[in-house]
Amino acid sequence: MNRTLIGLVILGVLSGCSDPKAAKRRQWQKDLEAVSGQIQQIEKGYVPHGLRIKSGQWLDLQTHRQDQIAGLISKLRLLAQQAGPRQKSAAKSLLAEYYASMARQGVRSAITAWGNVSNEGVMLLSQMTSVGQADSRAKSLDTDDTPLLETLEEEKQRCDSKLGEYQKLVDNAQRSDEQLNKQITGHSEQKDQLMQQASDLRKQAFVQKGAEQIAVYKRETDIQIQATGLEKNIQKLKLKRDLVQSSMRIDRQQRDLYRSSSKWLAQQIESIAQQQTQSQGLRDIALHRKNELATTLRTQFAKVQEAYDVQVEKVFGDATAMAEQAVAEIGTPPGDKTNIMLDKLTAQVTLLHVITQHVVTAGSYGQTLDLLARQARRLELQSANLLRMTADSFQQKRRELAVKAEKFAADAHETGRKLEGDRDEQVVKAVTGQRNHIRTYQDRIKATSLVQR
């Protein structure tokens, strides 16, 4: 039984003692049953047959689940407002979990969109390279190209060295990704088997009574707990896999960038070596081509920047707000509330996950912009200044996000420290795992910061 359904059971068990007024209590119970039905729909691991197509397209499970969650939150919040203290705490935990789920989905959407935007960013670099080609060609027609060739050779050697480094990183990440996927598949199969056993026990208990029925329900609960443990392991592995895949995507993009640059440099070196003497007419043609390419580059850059702002930056901002709301829903637990403190720590780690992915993405895009700005001397002054200003603003954005991330990490560590004295082995294990995640995120942010220097 996962955390969501456990919270629902708590709400149901406590509902009978919430309100002394029977009529109000019955209405609250009726509302609870309606919310319960929606929660159970959300927790199904498939999209109902009648909802498989939305707007002419297949509806994936995560999109369906997030649509359901968005429609449930206001009802669950209203239910919590009418509940007693313990019920309200359980409802708040559910709300926090759902806000965290929406935040994680937002991160997935932003990363997916970033994949498309980053490809367009690579195209911008390719276009800037083309501008550089045209500019270099024009200069090569009336200048001594020996210094230029030496510079290009040095740059190509640097690109080839970087290409080898990033290829090794990509190969290592691919091996890690394959291993993690195998582990996830194995755990998922085990969990499915346990869930089937639990389902069979529920059917068995339906026809039994008394002590026999209670015994079967106890067995079902034990199996559900095992399945929940596997699901936690699956989520941890998926989180680790997401980090590996995120890092691999960035490393692959950098590898491809250096490969493209190396290829262009090789072509450029060969071309310049073959063209030592050219006429003024050819130089004018090259300059005209450069201006055309620069115009196209400016237009495409505006489109890419808009796509990043709308599809990535805004989505990350919304995801951060959702993750912060998840933390806010739990608030400051009164007294020694270990389970609530664990929920708070989980929500804080989710928030740190969101901001870390934002830092990494903003850093990667900022690096692309920085590469563009460094080559922008080929453009007219106004465009070159715009690119430099934009690149600098993203570097500043990344630094600000990194500062926020450190604060979130410190808050999460503080929550973890408050739980250090707990003697429950499972609590200690959970806290240790979450604090390891925190340190992993901190290392990732630090690594991103070092790359940007």
| CA proximity to 305, closest of 45, 64, 75, 120 | 120
Residue 100 inside a domain? The answer is no
Token code pair at residue 348 = 């804080």
- pTM (predicted TM-score): 0.57
Q: Is residue 349 within 8 Å of residue 412, measured between CB atoms? A: yes
- Considering the domain boundaries, does residue 18 fall inside one? no
CB 106 within 8 A of CB 319: yes
pLDDT at 337 over 80: no
**406 falls within a domain:** no
Q: Give 207: exposed, middle or buried? Use CB within 10 Å, 0-12, 13-18, 19+.
A: exposed
What's 237's domain CATH number? 1.10.287.1490
Is 334 inside any structural domain?
Answer: no
Token couple for 129 = 């390279």
Residue with tokens 């509902």: 15
341 lies in a domain? no
> Would 151 be classed as within a structural domain?
yes
Look up the domain containing 161 and give its range: 143-277
Q: Which pLDDT belongs to residue 320?
A: 94
Average pLDDT of the residues in 410-423? 85
Q: Residue 426 CB: number of other CB atoms within 10 A?
A: 10
Average pLDDT over the chain, rounded to an integer: 79
Q: Are strands 57-58 and 53-54 parallel, antiparallel or unpaired?
A: antiparallel
Looking at the DSSP assignment, which residues form a beta bridge with residue 122? none
376: its two tokens: 């922008």
Comparison of pLDDT for 240 and 380, the residue scoring more: 240
Using the predicted structure, report yes or no on whether residue 145 has a pLDDT greater than 60.
yes
Tell me what pLDDT residue 294 has.
81
Q: Does residue 16 surpass a pLDDT of 70?
A: no
Residue 397 domain flag: no
Residue 157 lies in a domain: yes
Query: How many structural domains is the chain composed of?
Result: 1
The pLDDT tens digits of the residues spanning 247-274 come to 888 888 888 888 888 898 899 888 877 7
Q: Would you say residue 79 has pLDDT above 70? A: no
Q: Which residues contact 122 (CB under 8 A, 6 or more apart)?
A: 253, 256, 257, 260, 368
